[in-house]
Amino acid sequence: MLKGKYMYLCDHMRKYALCEMYLSYLVCDFI
């Protein structure tokens, strides 16, 4: 459930450069 939620956030935040960079390193690569 959490993984799916993070996957959604990563995909949604990908529209924003800073958010993508932040989420990619701290969240996307973590799961």
Report the pLDDT value the prediction gives residue 2, as an integer from 0 to 100: 61
Report the pLDDT value the prediction gives residue 28, as an integer from 0 to 100: 58
What is the sign of the dihedral through the CA atoms of 19, 21, 30 and 12?
Answer: positive
- Model confidence, pTM: 0.24
The burial of 17, by beta-carbon neighbours within 10 Å (0-12 exposed, 13-18 middle, 19 or more buried), is given as exposed
For every one of its 31 residues, what pLDDT tens digit does the chain have, with 9 covering 90 and above?
Answer: 566 666 667 666 666 666 667 767 766 555 5
Report the pLDDT value the prediction gives residue 7, as an integer from 0 to 100: 67
Report the pLDDT value the prediction gives residue 10, as an integer from 0 to 100: 66
Report the pLDDT value the prediction gives residue 12, as an integer from 0 to 100: 64
